[in-house]
Amino acid sequence: MQENKEKLAKIKIKALEEHIPIIMDDTLEEIEKRIEKNKPTKILEIGTAVGYSAICFSAFLTENGTIDTIERDKTRAAEAEENIKAMKLENRINIIVGDAVEILPTLNKKYDMIFIDAAKGKYPFFLKESLRMLEPKGIIFADNILYKGYVMSDYNKHKQRTAVRNLREYIKEVTENEKLETEILESGDGLAVTYWKK
């Protein structure tokens, strides 16, 4: 256990050094708070990077729980695979290498928790696919939803314009859809928390 903690700390330091945008501590806390009572058995993650968040989430799973996580960058996916093996989590975390835009429509499982943390321009599509696979008691977390404050400001210049427009569209959909309940948190780079209205 202690050994795994050290390994995880090393994965985190290396990722930060390489400027890989891994989940922030306060975001992780907010997620844990919301799922500790209703532990997930099936988690879907969009955007594995080197496996850091998936490894963290594995501690939240039920005893037989598993995580499917999608990554399109082959080098990162290979590093994630190594990290997951080193933590002896290969039976719990399944990496799917490919573009989530192509992979998601091929999935037909149900998930208790979905973590969206990949291309911001694709968030509305990721949402549509996530809702299709979300269990009645499931919960969707979308990271970076406020994108350095751009999303809530009148910022619309620059090369991030498409990302900002799509993040705004995501927020509009989850807040205006009458079947959904959503909280927008300021932790990290912004976290949207969405579940079915009771």
Which residues make up the interface to ligand SAH (CB under 6 A)? 21-23, 47, 49, 52-53, 70-73, 76, 99-101, 117-119, 122
Of 58, 83, 130, 144, which one interacts with Mg ion (CB under 5 A)? 144
68 interacts with, out of ligand SAH, Mg ion, none, CB within 5 to 8 A per kind: none
Cα–Cα dist 75/81, whole Å: 10
Compute the half-sphere exposure of residue 138: CA atoms within 13 Å on the CB side of its CA: 20
Site residue total, Mg ion (CB under 5 A): 3
Q: Which stretch binds Mg ion (CB under 5 A): 98-106, 109-117, 122-130, 147-155?
A: 109-117
Residue 117 makes contact with Mg ion by CB under 5 A: yes
Helix (H) or strand (E) run with residue 109 in it: none
Cα–Cα dist 45/100, whole Å: 10
What minimum distance in Å lies between the beta carbon of 100 and ligand SAH? 3
- Would you state the structure tokens that stand for residue 117, as one six-digit string? 């943390």
Cα–Cα dist 26/32, whole Å: 10
Residue 143 makes contact with Mg ion by CB under 5 A: yes
- Of 52 and 170, nearer to ligand SAH (C-beta) is 52
Cα–Cα dist 48/9, whole Å: 17
What minimum distance in Å lies between the beta carbon of 23 and Mg ion? 6
Phi-psi region of 29 (alpha: psi -120 to 50; beta: other; left: phi over 0): alpha
- Of 65 and 121, nearer to ligand SAH (C-beta) is 121
List all residues 6 or more positions away from 136 whose beta carbon is below 8 Å from its beta carbon.
196
144 interacts with, out of Mg ion, ligand SAH, none, CB within 5 to 8 A per kind: Mg ion
What minimum distance in Å lies between the beta carbon of 56 and ligand SAH? 8
163 interacts with, out of Mg ion, ligand SAH, none, CB within 5 to 8 A per kind: none
Cα–Cα dist 164/104, whole Å: 22
Cα–Cα dist 105/86, whole Å: 31
Q: Which residue is nearest to Mg ion (CB)?
A: 143
71 interacts with, out of ligand SAH, Mg ion, none, CB within 5 to 8 A per kind: ligand SAH
What is residue 189's three-state secondary structure? coil
Q: Which residues bind Mg ion (CB under 5 A)?
A: 117, 143-144
